[in-house]
Amino acid sequence: MFAKLPLTALRGFESAARLGSFKAAARELNVSPAAISHQVKSLEAFLGVRLFERSSQNVRLSADGERLHPQMHRALLDIQHGLQTLSPPCAAQSLVVSTTPAFASLWLIPRLGDFHRRYPDIDVRLHTSNDVVDLQRDASVDMAIRALFKPDPQLFEQPLLDECFGVYCRPGWQPPVDGMPIDLIDVPWLSDANVAVDWPAWCAAAGTLGWLDNARLRRYDEEQHALQAAIVGHGLVLASNVLVAEAVAQGQLLGYRPEVHLPGARYTVVCVPGRERQPLVRRFSEWLLGQDIVLESAH
């Protein structure tokens, strides 16, 4: 039934298509670039179509290659999963999750103990970076949690949390009398090009533009540092309701003027199509979506 399937060539094609390079595929599969090129040519001859457009500088997928690659990727993932079910448990129980350092430290890690208690045999490894990992090319990352403004048609997505931005303060904080300085903690928040998430935008919505004339801005590059500054009383912080949720739940911060808020992104669980069927990915996704979320919403 499968005697004529060119399995080696299919694996070489999938690697080259995912990594966008014959040379990178050769490194991944521990063969020469010439071997990858030969495998791809033999697959093209077998199918009777051109899978890559070649130039003197690079290669890129043809229209037929674009159609074939996701099917091959899903098929090889299923084969890998089938083999893992027969491997020793320690070899099949590692899950790599990519997200931002802020989301990891402020939302995910405080809740991760519950997952470990439920599934002690699953080793969750966090890959934290503000750079977006290309899940199509980096097969070492199983899934990611991202703040998205627009869907990514190349990925399987599950909505997790809707984000908005509001102002938070330390319990007991009182607004200054007119004309007195006010301490505002400033941090660059990621936003859609059409959405401003900053103090001028919030003050305009709140009718407090006069604050900006007397503001002392305390600037931080990292979200978690800005929230920590607010917790210890360095001023008001304009923050994501998702990232501030743990501090609010513990009574460290309170919402100020919660009826005033700015729109944000949607935190979404994403993976390469097909990986959502893998047991570890499915289990972690179901746990994420089943969390009892306590958000100090601006609504």
Report strand pairing: 94-99 vs 262-271: unpaired
Q: How many Å apart are CA 130 and CA 51, to the nearest integer?
A: 33
Look at residues 270, 252, 273 and name the one whose alpha carbon lies nearest to residue 110: 252
pLDDT-derived band at 299, boundaries 50, 70, 90: very low
- Tell me the per-residue pLDDT of 269-284, one tens digit each, with 9 for 90 and over: 999 988 898 889 999 9
pLDDT of residue 18: 85
Q: What is the mean pLDDT of the chain?
A: 87
Q: At residue 138, does pLDDT exceed 90? A: no
At 89-129, the pLDDT tens digits run: 554 488 999 999 999 999 999 999 999 999 998 999 999 99
More confident residue, 137 or 118: 118
Q: CA 70, CA 120: separation in Å to the nearest integer?
A: 32
CB 199 within 8 A of CB 185: no
Task: State pLDDT tens for residues 219-275.
Answer: 999 999 999 999 999 999 999 999 999 999 999 999 999 999 999 999 999 999 888
Per-residue pLDDT band at 142 (split at 50, 70, 90): very high
Residue 217 scores a pLDDT above 80 = yes
